A and B are shown apart, each in its own frame.
Chain A
Amino acid sequence: DTEVTQTPKHLVMGMTNKKSLKCEQHMGHRAMYWYKQKAKKPPELMFVYSYEKLSINESVPSRFSPECPNSSLLNLHLHALQPEDSALYLCASRPTQGNQPQHFGDGTRLSIL
């Protein structure tokens, strides 16, 4: 079991749908991250939030829209996705101070039809 909870675990959506991925942690971590991972590849950083403010956007297409409504929640809103966006989407968090590692959630397996 991980302390970072992601829902849903699986999501299938059409290219015209709007859906959201959710990530929650109650460890008091103030840095939160979204990653995209394709099969047999390492995670690719998408967004970083620090103290609920978007701090890094790795040139992610606007069809992905992150949101951090409070210090425990991180959302990723999806709209008009493409088949190549099918991947495992991972959320991670860590304290902003010290050398603590990032803790990953189990991910959402997303398939775009």
Chain B
Amino acid sequence: GQNIDQPTEMTATEGAIVQINCTYQTSGFNGLFWYQQHAGEAPTFLSYNVLDGLEEKGRFSSFLSRSKGYSYLLLKELQMKDSASYLCAVRGSTLGRLYFGRGTQLTVWP
């Protein structure tokens, strides 16, 4: 089976840095993806890792350790608009299907 675990909720202050962790145990692995989803909207792609290490994209960075089954999404200089659900998803071996974690609801306070 597939098991992807991430915290349910996190809070942070505007301008701060927050790290959202994701651990996974899956039968196949072809990359780990992070999506942002605002309430009632579609998930939007943020970042992905297929090899170990850090990928940086502006205020967002994502890290992967395949040997530990672990990833994190780092958000810097938080803004109010970053309040959203952040979905960790592992791509399996079959037809690019994604296995999603339950999502982490991030609330950014002023």
Contacts and interface: CB of A to CB of B under 8 A. Distances in A.
Interface of B: 30-31, 33, 35, 40-45, 48, 50, 87, 94-98, 100-103, 105
A74 interface: no
B87 A42 contact: yes
Interface in A4-56: 31, 33, 40-43, 45, 48, 50, 55-56
A10 B88 CA distance: 27
A41 B102 contact: yes
Contacts of B100: 42-43
B42 A99 contact: no
A105 interface: yes
A104 B41 CA distance: 10
A92 to B, nearest CB: 8
A48 B95 contact: yes
A31 B98 CA distance: 12
Interface of A: 2, 31, 33, 40-43, 45, 48, 50, 55-56, 88, 90, 94, 96, 99, 101-107, 109
B42 A31 contact: no
Contacts of B50: 99
Contact of B103 (A2, A33, A42, A109): A42
A-B complex: 3 closest residue pairs judged by Cβ atoms = A42-B100, A104-B42, A101-B45
B41 A106 contact: yes
B42 A56 contact: no
Contacts of A33: 97
A42 B36 CA distance: 11
A45 B102 contact: no
A50 B96 CA distance: 10
Nearest to B43: A104
25 contacts: A2-B42, A2-B44, A31-B95, A31-B96, A40-B105, A41-B102, A41-B103, A42-B87, A42-B100, A42-B101, A42-B103, A43-B43, A45-B98, A48-B95, A48-B97, A50-B95, A55-B95, A56-B95, A56-B97, A99-B48, A101-B48, A102-B45, A104-B43, A104-B44, A106-B41
